[in-house]
Chain A
């Protein structure tokens, strides 16, 4: 994985300009890798890159790929991801990634070039008002109007992206500012600001409530990823069952008997029943997304809710909170653990265990069995990414995580096409670790061109699994359940490429399995291939993801198992049905 640019680094960096000041600032902040794509309005930055070999630039095949790769990097490491694009179409191609990072609180720095200052506002070639466009999907954004300000702004952008509740920050740099001479200081990193301490009154009230709880449950979200040790200690000290949200998978080890799985629309029976029955719900680092709560007035109807959250705007936004605790999940969890006064709730634990026993293992051949076969082969250190759809929910249900930051997916925005570039970013962040991605046939094709990035940098640790059911499966499932099986525009089967041949075209070894018999051998060959490799698993067309809570329903109204269905249709019957529709 060497640097790709061919110009040999020049030791003499010559006169400093805005572009060089940008790289110097990034280097000073320990940025080792930037994902991006050049273009006219950012050419001075790419020119200056040749003077800064200490920063590796990764050329993706689309700016969206660059943004998701930077997200994958950030989600795997907890550190800042950086992406870069030119003005206009380059910048707008970053937009999906920025929105994704915003909803999942990913620390991300996006650098965009823009047309020269005197052309801004004239509808110049490749001009877009990217700061206007990204206003609602960034934590903050800047246009650099004076080269003297550039390093300070970049340093501040990095601080904002990483501090408090993390998020994406965009810095837009007009071309003349990139070229302007710079003779100022290159700033060093800001110290991370201390989070405000939680109030002792709220902590005391939380402790009092936990002491009186008969049916307590802990719910940990993505905001507690860096507090995994503290949350785990807290749960064990109080002997309280733990639910981890889609974004919080891995905060609590899934091998622990206290773990109940994931809540919400495709959550486990145990998690959703526990929420519905609990008398105290301790939420840590989460925002009560509608996919988690189901119908809000049916969410945790019997529970007093303690909400531990750094972002005050999330407290009380969706769910009324009895005891708001504003603070760092680590600090609060440590405090609550140290003051533990476990009451012992044998009846509650027995009830929870009974629900947990209802977890079904997919037995018949289908997407569930395929995903299970793959995730069962993962090692605890492997990073598992997913795209968006049925396979994502199956992976979230079936994979087992013993530590945080091993599960990377697009939770809040639900971005199809996220999986492959995110897995590349994560794989480059941790080259010694397998970066496995599970995708569907639909989402994979939204960013399939990033196979070229694997080839270009000879990345060897990315393992791509495509669960191919020839459908946009999650939409099809909803059409089946809520639109009387009118399968409108969800059939892909006739037009899907031969995924193995597609991989081969990029020098990526491809494997395929069509049934239970072929699967184990194919998985072995795929995972043991010394290179990054692709495995296509062909599964029956019609399978749903269950349990499921329909939208508008409460968690206790969940459908636990897949309704019986008639014999599976063949591909040709599907094509016929689709063409007639």
Chain B
């Protein structure tokens, strides 16, 4: 399984920015697993959290390509810092008179809120990290999940400094080398037939 990487992008709030970014991912074959966008405390700047799957090299390349976009103000690689992340999910669970109490009890255990009550279904709101949401859904699955909607993950770096270290290339030796010094070239040399 390819690992997930959590990136945050601060981008100019201008038309087509989302297209520009998703088109970059699409054209180059990078897989977006989740994407959420919202306004920030700065007018004109939006923040995106993107979950990319791929090996470290793919993510490095994606970040370098993103960095070239005029609309991208800053890229934060959450793999480099401690972070908090959350996701909001709405889950509509089928209920019967027999299961109603048990479903509500599970929801309470997860500190989930009921946001809609139907004759045959309850809709819950759950926030949490990926593990909590997956666990909630797994607990509810036996009762019958009718619909779910997830917002995608959002993340902030921990600590009190908002201007967190970013992935810039002031010292490319730190930024580039971990990804680049992987394959020992001596191994490849052995494949070469002596044709000279």
Measured between beta carbons, the chain A residues less than 8 angstroms from B57 are: 316
Q: Which residues of A contact B61 (CB under 8 A)?
A: 313, 316-317
Among B80-88, B137-145, B152-160, B171-179, the stretch that binds chain A is B171-179
* Cα A135 to Cα B19 with chains together (Å): 9
CB distance from A202 to the nearest CB of B (A): 6
Tell whether, in the assembled complex, residue B176 and residue A304 are in contact, meaning their CB atoms are under 8 Å apart: no
In the complex, whether B192 has a CB less than 8 A from a CB of chain A is: yes
- In Å, the complex CA distance between A276 and B170 comes to 33
Contact with A along B160-196 (1 / 0, CB 8 A): 0000000001111101110111110100110110011
Interface positions, chain A 194-250, Cβ under 8 Å from B, are 196, 199, 201-202
Known interface pairs A135-B19, A313-B65; A321-B170 also in contact (CB < 8 Å): no
Chain B interface size, as a band, is 35 or more
**B20 to chain A: which residues have CB within 8 Å?**
135
**CB pair B68 A311 closer than 8 Å:** yes
Binary contact track A422-449/B, C-beta < 8 Å → 1, others 0: 0000000000000000000000000000
Chain A residues, Cβ within 8 Å of B69: 140
**Bound Cα distance A59, B60 (Å):** 44
Asked if B135 is at the interface (CB within 8 A of a chain A CB), the reply is: no
- Indicate if B23 sits at the interface (CB-CB under 8 A): yes
- In the bound assembly, the distance between CA atoms of A196 and B171 in angstroms comes to 10
The answer to whether B60 touches A302 (Cβ under 8 A) is no
CA distance in complex: A311, B15 (Å): 26
Assembly CA distance A220 to B94 (angstroms): 66
Name the interface residues of A314-346: CB closer than 8 Å to any CB of B.
315-317, 320-322, 324-326
Contacts of B169 in A (CB 8 A): 196, 312, 326
Whole-angstrom distance between the Cβ of B181 and the nearest chain A Cβ: 7
Cβ A136 vs Cβ B27 within 8 A? yes
Q: Which residues of A contact B65 (CB under 8 A)?
A: 313
Counting CB contacts under 8 A, is A3 at the interface? no
- Residue B64 interfacial (CB < 8 Å): yes
Is B67 interfacial (CB 8 A cutoff)?
yes
Interface of B is mostly: helix
Contact across chains for B172 and A326 when beta carbons are under 8 A apart: yes
Interface size counted on chain A using CB atoms at 8 A: 37
Q: Mark B56-92, 1 if CB is under 8 A from A, else 0.
A: 0100110011011111000000000000000000000
Q: Does B42 contact A (CB under 8 A)?
A: no
Q: Is the CB of A303 within 8 A of B171?
A: no
Residue of B nearest to A140 (CB): B70
Are B189 and A315 in touch, CB under 8 angstroms? no
Q: How far is the CA of A524 from the CA of B191 in the complex (A)?
A: 52
Q: Is A199 a contact of B172 with CB atoms below 8 Å?
A: yes
Q: Hey, what's the 0/1 contact readout for A266-280 against B, CB within 8 Å counting as 1?
A: 000000010011000
Q: Are B179 and A316 in contact (CB under 8 A)?
A: yes
Contact in complex: B189, A131 (CB < 8 Å) = no
Contacts between the two chains (Cβ within 8 Å), count: 91
A160 in the interface (beta carbon within 8 A): yes
Within 8 A of A (CB), among B25-69: 27, 57, 60-61, 64-65, 67-69
Is A402 in the interface zone, CB < 8 Å from B?
no
Among B177, B191, B192, contact of A324 (Cβ-Cβ < 8 Å)? B177
Residues of A within 8 A of B175 (CB): 312
The interface residues of chain B lying within 8 Å CB-to-CB of A556 are 192, 195-196
Residues in A neighbouring B180, C-beta threshold 8 A: 315-316, 320-322, 324
In contact, B68 and A131 (Cβ under 8 angstroms):
no
A297 contacts B188, C-beta separation under 8 Å: yes
Interchain nearest-CB distance for A114 vs B (Å): 14
Q: Given the complex, which residues of B lie within 8 Å of A325, measured CB to CB?
A: 172
Q: How many whole Å from B19's CB to the nearest CB in chain A?
A: 7
CB pair B185 A301 closer than 8 Å: yes
Q: Please, which residues of chain A bring their CB within 8 A of the CB of B119?
A: none
Q: Does A557 contact B (CB under 8 A)?
A: yes
Inter-chain contact B171/A199, CB cutoff 8 Å: yes
> Does A313 lie within 8 Å of B67, measured CB to CB?
yes
For the complex, give the distance between the alpha carbons of A215 and B189 in Å: 15
- Chain A residue numbers with a CB within 8 Å of B67 are 312-313
CA distance A315 to B15 in the complex (A): 30
* Chain A residues in 8 Å Cβ range of B23: 135-136
Q: In angstroms, how far is the closest chain B Cβ from the Cβ of A189?
A: 18
**Would you call A143 an interface residue if the criterion is a C-beta within 8 Å of the partner chain's C-beta atoms?**
yes
List residues of chain B with CB within 8 A of the CB of A316: 57, 60-61, 176, 179-180
CA A554 to CA B27, docked complex, whole Å: 27
Min CB distance, B158 to chain A, in Å?
Answer: 27
Partner of A322, one of B71, B171, B181, B191: B181
- Separation of A289 and B114 alpha carbons in the complex (Å): 56
User: A563 within 8 Å of B by Cβ?
Assistant: no
Residues of A within 8 A of B173 (CB): 199, 201-202, 324
B25 to chain A, nearest CB (A): 11
The chain B residue with its CB closest to the CB of A314 is B64
In the assembled complex, A298 has its CB within 8 A of some CB on chain B? yes
List A contacts of B196 (CB < 8 A).
Answer: 273, 276-277, 556
Q: Nearest CB to that of A304 among chain B residues?
A: B185
**Residues of A contacting B171 in the complex (Cβ-Cβ under 8 angstroms):** 199, 201
Nearest B residue to A309 via CB reads B172
Q: B27, B176, B181, B188: which contacts A312 (Cβ < 8 A)? A: B176
A554 to B182, CA, bound (A): 22
Q: Tell me, in angstroms, the Cα distance from A313 to B66 when the chains sit together.
A: 9
16 A-B Cβ contacts within 8 A? A131-B16, A135-B19, A135-B23, A136-B27, A139-B68, A196-B169, A201-B173, A297-B188, A301-B185, A302-B189, A302-B192, A312-B172, A312-B175, A313-B64, A326-B169, A557-B195
Across the A-B interface, the 7 shortest Cβ-Cβ residue pairs = A313-B64, A326-B172, A140-B70, A301-B192, A316-B180, A324-B176, A312-B64
Given known contacts A298-B191, A301-B191, what 20 new A-B pairs fall within 8 Å (CB)?
A135-B16, A196-B169, A196-B170, A199-B171, A201-B173, A297-B188, A298-B192, A302-B189, A302-B192, A312-B64, A312-B176, A313-B68, A316-B57, A316-B180, A320-B182, A322-B185, A326-B169, A326-B172, A556-B195, A556-B196
